[in-house]
């Protein structure tokens, strides 16, 4: 009887309890997994948020790295002897219905010591000159504008001409290059300094085509600018130093592209502050120097404010 009870009652109880146990274990397991997945989901959401933050931070850091690279390139611009450099940001390009000339708007103005015709350069060469000023902003006439004309000299053959813009995204024209004058394609054109606005020796453009058209007494020369106006973000502004005469007398104070003089350490020049050379009078460097007082008889006349 005992065995019969074991074989029946016990077996019955097992068959009754086992599925229940199995079901309970499945339900329990399911519940555990559900709870676990809820946790995973929460963790997933949290990780997603962290990833988004990290991605955003990465984008910001990449942007800062690119900016640092651009600023470092600006710092490589060596101010010529007797000139100082300060950086400026491009706020906007042509603005409004009256902006007929190829211009950009900078975030520096009269309060930063700028004047009309202040030369504006980039890491690769001349960008333009100040056309219009307000207390904290300035409009720059780009060298690619058809109304911009700069006397230039070819770096290798020293052939002179006047470079004229032809508009945005177009090659520039070098005028008045005599027929016999040597000039090579790929040659760099640098400022000659004859107009007394730009320092001598700043790169302006690269010759792309030299030829002759019709019965002209001059060669037809085309050149490409050394910057892309659409990608301009930071520029350097050059200003004459009051110690110009002294600096010229002392060798080794700086130089420009195409010249062989040793230069001051460009890293010591912050792009956001006025840069001055070491002052023998002991004044702290980095402070804005007094306005240059031109020597008697050497003061240059400024063109009309509204003219390019």
> Which C-beta is closer to other proteins: that of 140 or that of 183?
140
Q: Are strands 203-211 and 218-225 parallel, antiparallel or unpaired?
A: antiparallel
Q: Closer CB to other proteins, residue 90 or residue 223?
A: 90
* Cβ atoms 161, 152 nearer than 8 A: yes
Q: Is 192 a binder of other proteins (CB under 8 A)?
A: no
152 binds other proteins (CB under 8 A): no
121 touches other proteins by CB under 8 A: no
CB of 103 to other proteins, least distance (A): 6
- The DSSP symbol for 235 reads E
With CB under 8 A as the contact rule, the residue among 19, 20, 39, 167 that binds other proteins is 167
275: alpha, beta or left? (left if phi > 0; alpha if psi -120 to 50):
beta
Minimum distance of other proteins from residue 171's CB (angstroms): 14
DSSP class of residue 185 equals T
Residue 190 CB: number of other CB atoms within 10 A?
Answer: 24
Per CB under 8 A, 307 contacts other proteins? yes
96: contact with other proteins by CB under 8 A = yes
CA 68 to chain centre: 9
Q: Is 280 in the site for other proteins (CB under 8 A)?
A: no
95 binds other proteins (CB under 8 A): yes
Task: Tell me how far apart the alpha carbons of residues 113 and 230 are, in angstroms, rounded to a whole number.
Answer: 26
Q: What angle do CA 160, 166, 169 make, to 5 degrees?
A: 115
Residues in contact with other proteins by CB under 8 A are 92-101, 103, 105, 131-132, 134, 139, 141, 146-147, 167-168, 306-308
């Amino acid at each position: 009887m005992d065995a019969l009870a074991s074989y029946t009652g016990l077996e019955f109880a097992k068959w009754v309890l086992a599925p229940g146990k199995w079901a309970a274990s499945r339900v329990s397991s399911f519940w555990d997994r559900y709870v676990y997945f809820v946790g995973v989901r929460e963790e997933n959401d949290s990780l997603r948020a962290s990833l988004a933050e990290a991605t955003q931070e990465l984008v910001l850091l990449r942007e800062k790295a690119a900016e640092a690279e651009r600023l470092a390139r600006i710092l490589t611009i060596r101010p010529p002897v007797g000139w100082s450099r300060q950086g400026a940001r491009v706020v906007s390009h042509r603005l409004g219905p009256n902006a007929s000339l190829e211009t950009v708007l900078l975030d520096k103005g009269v309060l930063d010591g700028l004047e009309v015709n202040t030369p504006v350069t980039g890491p690769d060469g001349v960008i333009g000159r100040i056309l219009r000023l307000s207390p904290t902003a300035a409009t720059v006439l780009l060298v690619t504008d058809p109304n911009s004309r700069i006397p230039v000299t070819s770096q290798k053959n020293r052939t002179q001409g006047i470079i004229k813009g032809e508009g945005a995204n177009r090659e520039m024209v070098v005028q008045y290059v005599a027929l016999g004058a040597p000039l090579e394609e790929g040659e760099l054109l640098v400022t000659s300094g004859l107009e007394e606005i730009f320092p001598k020796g700043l790169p302006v453009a690269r010759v792309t085509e030299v030829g002759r058209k019709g019965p002209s007494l001059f060669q037809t020369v085309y050149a490409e600018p050394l910057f892309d106006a659409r990608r301009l973000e930071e520029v350097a502004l050059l200003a004459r130093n009051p110690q110009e005469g002294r600096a010229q007398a002392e060798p080794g104070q700086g130089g420009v592209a195409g010249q062989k003089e040793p230069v001051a350490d460009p890293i010591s020049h912050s792009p956001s502050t006025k840069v001055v050379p070491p002052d023998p009078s002991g004044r702290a460097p980095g402070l804005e120097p007094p306005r240059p007082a031109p020597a008697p008889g050497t003061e240059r006349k400024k063109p009309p404010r509204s003219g390019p």
